[in-house]
Structure 1
């Protein structure tokens, strides 16, 4: 039996900086489109005009530009706009939504990295978002390798990479712990594999979810 085409599928990618999740999200979207699926590829923070404006505020500038509490409010505001304007309309139209990061990143980067604020993140999420992904792909990667990859990009959105390797190690452990908290929706993939091998695994997991076969 196939999945109800009117409900869509909400799939997110998570992982530390430099894990390759953004590349794999694009590759999965391309593969699904080639198979005839209607796919919306989006990202957080961002994914809608208002959320993209907030993205520039939180990802650029000095590492100490915002407090963790302020970041939580900014990310939640961006996510609400993204949800209203991009994610929910696409799901209502029966599309596959692939999002590069979602609330799990806020649970990690703001909820754990700069104080014990996880409860605050979850409270705001329940109040203002109220939606979890159907499936979350966690690309697991050695933190030192990931940070080296991320810094090699030499982009302008390096505020969190500038916190250094200690944050990346803490985030990896946090994401793995989070996967245990939500075992029904998390799938952990080895980011150290060859790129094509990771993509093939992602496609298999996603197609099983689309057609409601056991994963």
Structure 2
């Protein structure tokens, strides 16, 4: 495949949207075709699953249900959008991917590590991003920023301890994978953007 898959990860309030816009513009300026995706979502079926995941149901949503829905949406996006684009030489910038499940469901929900690995292997068959930029923000700060955007969804209401576990898992996984670059998202957005541009320059070189 000639295309590359670049993913932006982070907790709520980390500033993913603005960074994704920056990366997309950077790649386009380099004369490379680029598409943008988001998870969960990105195809009609995956978007329907997204609504199901985010909805605040009047019943307990089992952790296993949440996890399997995430991977169902991910496979739909991978098969129908990401892989076809990469095969055409188009680069894809993703708003979240498998690392989110490993951090949120594996870390935040504290699901069994072997279960997480097995489901990921079945769903993705070894596929992974070429580059992941993890925007690291303290959970309390990120949630405060997220509240400023409006009402929090079901997952965003999980509580501070959940997000602290999620952040810890993100950082642990990033320390074990050279394709994951950590950017300090506690800085002013202009500094964050400069740091991301430096990551892209090094990657493209």
TM-score of the superposed pair, with normalisation by structure 2: 0.92
Deviation at 1:115, TM superposition (A): 3.0
Task: Write the deviation string for residues 99-152 of structure 1: whole angstroms up to 9, x where unpaired.
Answer: 011011111111222233232121111112121111110101111110101122
Q: CA deviation at 1:153?
A: 1.1
2:190 pairs with 1:196: yes
SS of corresponding position for 1:42: strand
Q: CA deviation at 1:199?
A: 1.8
Aligned to 2:38: 43
Q: How many residues align?
A: 204
Residues 1:162 and 1:62: Cα distance change in structure 2 (over 3 Å): farther
User: CA separation in 2, counterparts of 1:56 and 1:65?
Assistant: 16
Aligned match of 1:77: 72
Secondary structure, counterpart of 1:110 in structure 2: helix
- 1:110 aligns with 105
Q: Extract unaligned runs of 5+ from structure 1.
A: 1-5
Distance 1:7 1:65, change over 3 A: farther
Give the equivalent residue in structure 2 for 1:7: 2
1:144 lines up with 2:140 in the alignment: yes
Match of 1:53 in 2: 48
Is the contact made by 1:151 and 1:161 (CA closer than 8 Å) also made in structure 2?
A: no
Q: Is the 8 A contact 2:107 2:168 kept in 1?
A: no
1:63/1:162 contact within 8 Å kept: no
Q: Does the CA-based 8 Å contact 2:103-2:167 persist in structure 1?
A: no
For 1:63 and 1:27, the matched residues in 2 are separated by: 39
Where structure 2 has 5 or more consecutive residues not aligned to the other structure, the ranges are: none
Equivalence for 2:181: 187
Q: Return the offset for 1:95.
A: 1.4
CA distance in structure 2 between the partners assigned to 1:15 and 1:102 by the alignment: 11
Secondary structure at the aligned position of 1:128 is classed as: helix
